[in-house]
Structure 1
Amino acid sequence: MKEFLLKQGVSENLLDEVEKFTKFYDLDKNYEYRIPHLKYKYYGKETWEKAIAAILSGSHILLSGPKATGKNVLAENLAFLFKRPLWTISLNISSDPASLIGSDTFKNNEVVLKKGPVYEAGLAGGFAVFDEINMAKNEALSVVHSALDYRRVLDVSGYDRLNLHEATRFIATMNYGYIGTRDLNEALVSRFLVIDMPTITDSDLKKLILENTNLREDYVDLFVRLFLDLQEKSLNSEISSKAIDLRGMLAAIDLMEHGLSIKSSLELGIADKTFDSYEKEIVEDIIDTLFKSGIKSGDLFVG
């Protein structure tokens, strides 16, 4: 991982500090299985440096930005880099304090606390992701406020207080503009350092595709152009963000390597994710413009 980051130009001094962090904070072997196994790496020097510096300073971070900017991928990459166990908590409308901190359960003829993800992360010195924090109910946000407080103490009703492990960090993600989302209040935002996630550059996108597929390099540019064209139309409000799915595009490329046609693969991975007929037509027009009918899926790959 260090070599990958150095190639991107990430500060070697910061990476040396990460090594000191990982050596200083031991990890209980029972939690090692929670250190993520990376499928994708995050590309973006400045964002990496901001996130690493924030975590080293003891701060929690809020990753904010449109869809497909790599918020969850970065969170997983950070947990992997710092060798910390990771809990991902989806803050939907059903989230409540019990689902975050824990709830009573009956064990060995006595009532004990069944630990929730926030409690476990605080106990183990892990990283916890509050996914889509701007969709959370007030009851859940009360727990988030408490977890982020500078005193680093969680009061567990009916049980003892938990002093958060010094290595514990909370990473929130936020897609703005979605139905069901709302603005975060100033008191909550002030508990984070905020990183405005940039859209991926064409050069970084090309590197990502080359690393994760067997595409011939001369065809990679077509997929880069496809993704960036769709992203631009979404940012200009010509289409929604439903078809802006980088994982979907990579999955479609995998389908092509297994022999499915280009058109069918991109329908499954991208076009059919929008259910509006007008929007789907725009997406299909972009695909048809870039991928001429003479290209077969077998032509795209090395070997």
Structure 2
Amino acid sequence: MFTLDQLPKSIQTKINEIEKDTESQQLIGKPGYTAIDESTLYDSIISLALEKNVLLKGPTGSGKTKLAETLSSIFCQPMHSINCSIDLDAEALLGFKTIDNKDGKATIEFVPGPVIQAMKKGHLLYIDEINMAKPETLPILNGVLDYRKTITNPFTGEVVQAKKGFGVIAAINEGYVGTVPLNEALKNRFVVIDVPYVQGDVLFNVLKEQSQLTDEKLLKNYVTLSADLIALVQAGNLSEEAASVRALIDTCDLSLFLPPLRAIQRGIVEKLEDDREKAAILNVAQTLFD
């Protein structure tokens, strides 16, 4: 089990020196990420402590968001999130102007978005599915992501310099439907961390700790189910979301009150659209749960 004592003393000092924001505790992520290879978490911590931007690369359901939350917890830093889509624009990133009424007078106020908030407060910024955004939207962040850590707010003209402690974590799922290749100039601004699927004994412990299911025989069967689904994903016969740890935890919880096959139907199968994929999962499940 990874502990902070494994980090070099200089990195521990850097983490401890970050100013803690006691007013935004509700934005600090919950820990819980567990990896097959501890270097995944270790290297992410080192990179953030050295003020590098971290790009988490892995399949859907491999735990990229949970890793980001765990990093937020370790650094005791609130985290502001951006969920990228084709509709993402500068206002969603930086903020927007609105009309406010003060003392009977209408005034124009700027409401800061997640980028501006994280920079000014020295918080973490999490950009989920960064390659879902339109390529023309992201260059606005170039100055934020390089050594300058600054941006000129186009809505106010203010030059914003990131406060000490500011860090950026992004997540990417390459080849997923709706994604586009990340611009090389943008990608070059990140340290890339591979986040593989959690499997075997590590997955067993994750399910035991994060689900409500306590039946060890059932938990072991779900670990086997996960391994079989991952094999189908890697062979190109199943969508990545079918092997999601999040979906598996849902299924474990349902198993407290539903037969396993019905829990799998509700927690995993019905989240998919393709009838052939649904049938494939049920075929695998029926060999494990009679």
Q: Which residue of 1 aligns with 2:227?
A: 228
**Residue equivalent to 1:298:** none
In structure 1, distance between residues paired with 2:144 and 2:240: 32
Q: How high is the TM-score relative to the length of structure 2?
A: 0.92
2 CA distance for matches of 1:82 and 1:18?
A: 11
- What is the correspondence of 1:1-303 to structure 2 with a 5 Å cutoff? 5-6=2-3, 12-14=6-8, 16-17=9-10, 19-38=12-31, 40-43=32-35, 44-107=37-100, 108=102, 109-157=106-154, 158-212=156-210, 213-257=212-256, 259-292=257-290
**Larger RCO, structures 1/2 (Cα 8 Å, 6+ apart):** 2
Q: Is the 8 A contact 1:96 1:139 kept in 2?
A: no
Letter in 1 for 2:278: K
Distance 1:159 1:228 in 2: 52
Per-residue deviation, 1:207: 1.3
Gaps (5+ residues) in structure 1? 293-303
Runs of 4+ residues deviating >3 angstroms: 16-19
Q: Which runs of 5+ in 2 are unaligned?
A: none
Q: For the residues of structure 1 that align with 2:269 and 2:213, how far apart are their CA atoms?
A: 22
Equivalent residue letter for 1:13: L
**Deviating more after overlay: 72-81 vs 21-30:** 21-30
Kept after mapping to 2: 8 A contact 1:128/1:170: yes
TM-score when scaled to structure 1? 0.88
CA RMSD of aligned residues (A): 1.7
Compared CA separation, residues 245 and 260, structure 1 to 2 (3 A): same
1:217-254 C-alpha deviation (Å, 9 max, x unpaired):
23322110101110110111012223222111211211
**Which secondary structure state, in structure 2, belongs to the residue aligned with residue 242 of structure 1?**
helix
Secondary structure of 1:243 counterpart: helix
